[in-house]
Chains A and B, each alone.
Chain A
Amino acid sequence: MLGEPWHRIISITSTDPDRSPARHPGGDYALDRGFRGIAWTSAALILALVAYIIVEIGGKALPAIAEYGFGFLTSTTWNVQEGHFGILPEIWGTLYSSLLALILGGVFGITIAIFLTQDFLPSRLAVVFRTIIELLAAIPSVVFGLWGIYVLIPMLRPAANWLHEEFGVVPFFGTSLSGPGLAPAALVLAIMILPTVASISVDALRQIPYKVKEAAYGMGTTRWEAILKVMLPTAGSGILAALVLGFGRALGETMALAMLIGNSNQISLSLFAPANTLAALLASNFPEAGEVEVQALMYAALALLAITLVVNIVGLAAMKFATRKFEAER
């Protein structure tokens, strides 16, 4: 290449046939372009896939949207014989169970992350612990469901019924737990989102440079003051991301919930009442659904998709805001 006068090879990546890289002995540029092509195609395929899914579900849901309109989202009956479809109880159940799971899983996940990163454990033990928690994510949903039915519900029932008898006036304990219900479902959900929340929070806390910790102790903080007043706020946007992802996971979780929540079309504040979620509704009704019900289910799927999308967008915006406000130069 260097043997040729340089002006004849002004551009080695040019597509001009006169100076094309085809004359160039190395295959580097072809490889370069090839890789770029693959990367672009993959990215475009993902977009196309998402668009296709939305269009397809939307298309199938179209008759139901035309038929039931906005009332579908605010009506509370699901009666196939009479052709009445409404998903308000499912929307409520989805949000309520996910919120409970987020509170429980969030508190435990963040606590575990603090425990694993702030020198409470020798680092080798912390790695072992973290691996075990991440293994929780590998347990199939249906196994969690079975565990819930055979272990968790019988375990919860005496406590739940005692709470109902003693504090029945409190809306949260307004009913007794007779089997599947919101409480066992939310508990299992909390366990299922725990690995997500914990491991992303661990990463966020671990990314904090040592100098920040030094600054905190240098100001004369105790260990807990350093953690609560400096480390957690510093990792704030990362922990927020952990919670958003955990919440997103909880919203979409299907199998364990279909087994545990009771699939009952009602809106109740009570933790022990059976309820239903959108994902569970889809899973349990699809197998035997006729044409009209399938259209309604597609509409419900679209609603679930919209909820997760909104949650993720709001979460991303909150994270952006937190990052811009407090971590300007990081």
Chain B
Amino acid sequence: MNAIAETAAVEAAPTTTFGNTVMDCQVQKIFYGDFLAVRDSHLPIEKNKIIGFIGPSGCGKSTVLRSLNRMNDLIPVFRFEGKVTYHGQDIYDKKVDPVVVRRYIGMVFQQPNPFSMSIYDNVAFGLRLNRFKGNMDERVEKALNGAALWNEVKDKLKNSGLSLSGGQQQRLCIARAIATEPDVLLMDEPCSALDPIATRKVEELMLELKENYTIAIVTHNMQQAMRVADTTAFMGVDISQGSRTGYLVEMGATQRIFEDPQEELTRKYVRGEFS
């Protein structure tokens, strides 16, 4: 493991920058206190594509994802060195308000987390937050349709969001996130708390959503990455410095990552030799 980790220096990692990049994430170092969680990873995120982050646990894939909309700022000891540009603007620039960043870059979490309010109010939450003045009903319906939930809930919009099943709750969270029409959607293992049927539905939904949104998804399910991601980023754990630091090993078209990985570590991971 040590040797493999050392050979896979980041400079060697093939990262291609594509023309249509919405976000460009250039991590130099991410710290939690003194702990170096992620180092040197360059992840360009292309418009209207799904990028999947895979890798063994502790490789920092969630950390990187949560750095993309400054969710990690909630953790006081978190420190980010590097740059994340969103439409050319560095979101870690001092004059950028993280609250605004999060309004433009939506997020769906591992556990479904609807608010304890009605289904309607859950979806309308972001719109109200942004003082949306247009036709609220129309936008709520559109978002619920977009999340493939409308038909199941149209007759009970006043019921609590928490009265839905787990899979429906997660789609409600997706509806809540897309109601304000952010152009990037971050998903942190969105299916890990769902059963296979609900997972399938959310995956189908992601494929539909990418027409209008750019999606970054963290998953520890390689099959899921294969099914939905256009681009896959494989992250590994470097234990050579005596601690566990994540870094980008390899990134590329999903098919290539799974069928013809350039790095030995990637090859072993996608074969299921470690996890």
Q: Tell me the A residues contacting B by CB distance below 8 Å.
A: 209, 211-222, 225, 229-230, 233-234, 236, 325-330
Contacts and interface: CB of A to CB of B under 8 A. Distances in A.
Which of A215, A218, A325 has the largest count of B CB atoms less than 10 A from its CB? A218
A217 B130 CA distance: 14
Contacts of B99: 220-222
B117 interface: yes
B125 interface: yes
Of B114, B116, B129, chain A has the most CB atoms within 10 Å of the CB of B116
22 contacts: A211-B109, A212-B116, A214-B71, A214-B74, A215-B113, A215-B114, A217-B74, A218-B109, A219-B125, A219-B129, A219-B176, A219-B177, A220-B104, A220-B126, A220-B129, A220-B130, A221-B99, A229-B125, A236-B116, A326-B162, A327-B116, A328-B159
A328 B102 contact: no
A212 B177 CA distance: 14
Contacts of B129: 219-221, 225, 229
Interface string B39-79: 00000000000000000000000000000010100100000
Contacts of A211: 109, 111, 113
Interface of B: 69, 71, 74, 99-104, 106-107, 109, 111, 113-118, 125-126, 129-130, 159-160, 162-163, 173, 176-177
A220 B117 contact: no
Nearest to B179: A219
A147 B101 CA distance: 52
A327 B160 contact: yes
Contacts of B114: 215
B160 A325 contact: yes
A212 B125 CA distance: 13
Contacts of A220: 99-104, 126, 129-130
Contact of B71 (A217, A236, A325, A326): A217
Contact of A212 (B115, B159, B163): B115
A236 to B, nearest CB: 8
Q: Which of B71, B100, B117 has the most CB of A within 10 A?
A: B117
Given A234-B115, A328-B159, 14 more contacts: A211-B109, A212-B115, A214-B74, A214-B113, A218-B109, A219-B102, A219-B129, A220-B99, A222-B99, A225-B129, A234-B116, A236-B116, A327-B116, A328-B162
Contacts of A327: 116, 160, 162
Nearest to B130: A220
B111 A230 contact: no
B113 A212 contact: yes
A128 B113 CA distance: 31
A173 to B, nearest CB: 39
A284 B102 CA distance: 61
B120 to A, nearest CB: 12
B117 A218 contact: no
B113 A326 contact: no
B162 A215 contact: no
